[in-house]
Amino acid sequence: MTLSRGMLQRAPTIGEKRVKMAVRIVLGTQWGDEGKGKIVDILTEDSDIVVRYQGGANAGHTVVIDNEKFILHLVPTGILHPKKICILGNGVVVDLEQLFSELQELKERGIETDQRVLISDSAHLVMPYHKTIERLDEKQKGKNRIGTTCKGIGPAYADKIGRIGIRMMDLLDEELFNKKLEQNFKAKEVWFKMISKKEVFSLKKKSISVLKYKNKIKPLLIDASIYLNEAIKKRKNILLESAQGTLLDVDFGTYPYVTSSHPTAGGACIGSGIGPTRIDEVIGVTKAYTTRVGDGPFPTELNDTFGEILRKKGNEFGATTGRPRRCGWLDLVILKHSVRVNALDKLAITKLDVLDQIEPILVCVGYKYKNKKIEGFPKALNILWNVEPIYKEFSGWKNKTCGLTNYKDLPDKTKRYLEFIEKSLDVPIFLISTGFKREEAIFV
Ligand code: IMP
């Protein structure tokens, strides 16, 4: 697709250009924390069902409604819109203690959750021992640690792939559940030798006690693939919500500094049971600059006052762990990689207002390795750790864009920045977020 010049010149208002689509994927194009929560929240208005398709409680989706802040880890963001159905797909790994505490908190804050949350019977459980193993594993790796969220995500997916994971449906069969638990404790003996017998005993007790959720979970379990495909036949609008970002994908990210699932478009099919030909649109969410939390290469990282300013202005602290996020300039190399692996149809740009007073603003347009320009995004980490970004400089707009809802009100310099992104990536921008509140957005 070739974009026409001045694509962003159309004057929009919220809601004016909304297109009803049947099945849409919303995903992160960077290292997570792109502000997907808010975008999903806006798009939920046009949806009947919102599905989380991968990840677990490692995510932290922040939405602000009427000055009230909600951070959702496991429950799909759609829960904040009355009557929408929220589904945890088979691709999600579920920590039941976290899920029910999140639902309880929502209820206490006046959000109706009854009969609105459904879970795939094939989704795997994050068990208490997964978190213990992760803690031991990260410690053992020392300076080569991944910097995970320690929510048990990696070990839970490892068990899934290793074919010893415990699925939601197993909770309904106590005998099978206990048998699987025994099998798991045997398989993990090597880890449990690293902790005291007392700790192993308490871990076993905690793991057995997961059975207490059996009756609570029973009415929520569905075959999500059947449910969703029936919904598609009935022309329902479905939003498939990813957690994390493309550069954290276990195949397409900066491996091994990644999460253990597929936050990409392909992952949406695998994690929901909806086939690829049923997907109507793939939407990428891109922050106007770049952040990363945890370890791993980050070519445009700023270890100077600019980085500090972005962190402060953008409130770049992990919603799940509170860790300060590493901040840097927008990187078109990683974004082109994201556009390709996800076949993005359109982009939502977030946190544009964070750049309001920055001068100058840099955008990485390529990498140099050993003083030579290289093509594309290098998969080999020994190269990625050592690339030198090639920057294009923009003069900052030094004007307030925070809260704007009309494209024509954006400063010309801001429009130039956005048009450059659009043209470089060959993907149209359809939505610009200009603040943390639901209504602070521009539909282009
Ligand atoms: P894990 O998903 O907890 O295994 O962590 C693996 C890597 O993904 C670490 O670098 C985490 O910081 C990162 N990560 C996991 N979830 C998120 C997220 O929601 N936002 C940003 N980074 C994340």
Q: Which residues pair with 286 in a beta bridge?
A: 349
Which residue's CA is minimally distant from atom 10 of ligand 1? 294
Q: Report helix angle 197-208 to 128-141, nearest 10.
A: 140
Q: Measured in angstroms, how far is the CA atom of residue 381 from the centroid of ligand 1? A: 18
Question: How is residue 249 written in tokens?
Answer: 């994908």
Q: Any idea which fold 3-12+19-122+223-443 has?
A: Adenylosuccinate Synthetase; Chain A, domain 1 (3.40.440)
Predicted pLDDT at 63 = 87
**pLDDT tens by residue, the chain, 444 residues:** 333 333 443 333 344 444 466 999 999 999 999 999 999 999 999 999 999 999 999 998 888 888 899 999 999 999 999 999 999 999 999 999 999 999 999 999 999 999 999 999 999 999 999 999 999 999 999 999 999 999 999 999 999 999 999 999 999 999 999 999 999 999 999 999 999 999 999 999 999 999 999 999 999 999 999 999 999 999 999 999 999 999 999 999 999 999 999 999 999 999 999 999 999 999 999 999 999 999 999 999 999 999 999 999 999 998 888 899 999 999 999 999 999 999 999 999 999 999 999 999 999 999 999 999 999 999 999 999 999 999 999 999 999 999 999 999 999 999 999 999 999 999 999 999 999 898 999 999
Look at residue 319 in the predicted model and tell me its pLDDT: 85
CATH number corresponding to 124-219: 1.10.300.10
pLDDT value of position 20:
60
Residues with C-beta less than 6 Å from any ligand 1 atom: 31-33, 58-60, 146-149, 151, 153-154, 243-244, 248, 257, 259-260, 293-294
CA 92 – CA 319 distance, rounded (Å): 19
**pLDDT, position 62:** 87
**What is the model's pLDDT at position 66?**
86
The residues, ordered by sequence, that sit 6+ positions from 425 with a Cβ below 8 Å of its Cβ are 332, 335, 336, 339, 344, 347
Catalytic residues: 33, 61
Domain layout of the chain by residue ranges: 3-12+19-122+223-443, 124-219
Which residues are registered as beta bridge partners of 46?
none
**pLDDT tens track for 270-311:** 999 999 999 999 999 999 999 999 999 999 999 999 999 999
CA-based Rg of the chain, rounded to a whole angstrom? 22
**CB neighbours (10 Å) of residue 83?**
8
- Tens of pLDDT, residues 418-442: 999 999 999 999 999 999 898 999 9
Counting ligand 1 atoms within 8 A of each CB, the residue from 293, 301, 326, 350 with the most, and so the one to mutate, is 293
From the CA of 16, how far away is ligand 1's center (Å)?
A: 35
Instruction: Please provide residue 6's backbone torsions phi and psi, each rounded to the nearest 5 degrees.
Output: 65, 30
pLDDT (0 to 100) of residue 65: 87
- Give the pLDDT score at 280: 97
Q: Write 232-236 long-range contacts (CB < 8 A, 24+).
A: 232/22, 232/23, 232/274, 232/278, 235/22, 236/22, 236/48, 236/49
Predicted confidence at residue 21, as pLDDT, reads: 66
